């Protein structure tokens, strides 16, 4: 099972996108864990049980460099969710992008 974590300002605004991603995974028979957390908890999540990919919400794109510094030593890929996909809550596309990053 692949672990996908979405990080945003408070972990609340991405919860609807997480639901859409879970539904897309279920529809396609993909075994993944998807959760949303506040960006301030990313380091704790890494130490807790690890993740396979981190996606930043567009509202915290300013944290990209800090996340690179944190994730690169652990070889964990990350990306910023596009404003368009985030706004449209395109769970299927965001899931696909996350899985491509893991490969």
Which active-site residues does the annotation give?
8
86/72 Cα distance (integer angstroms): 24
> Do residues 79 and 101 make contact, with C-beta atoms less than 8 angstroms apart?
yes
> Do residues 37 and 65 make contact, with C-beta atoms less than 8 angstroms apart?
no
The interaxial angle of helices 91-102 and 15-28, nearest 10 deg, is 70
């Amino acid at each position: 099972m692949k672990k996908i974590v979405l990080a945003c300002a408070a972990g609340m605004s991405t919860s609807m996108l997480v639901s859409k991603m879970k539904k897309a995974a279920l529809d396609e028979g993909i075994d993944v864990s998807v959760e949303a957390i506040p960006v301030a908890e990313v380091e704790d999540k890494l130490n807790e049980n690890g993740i396979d990919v981190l996606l930043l919400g567009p509202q915290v794109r300013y944290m990209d460099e800090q996340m690179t510094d944190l994730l690169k030593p652990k070889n964990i890929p990350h990306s910023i969710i596009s404003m368009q996909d985030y706004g449209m809550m395109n769970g299927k596309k965001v899931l696909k992008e996350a899985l491509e990053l893991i490969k």
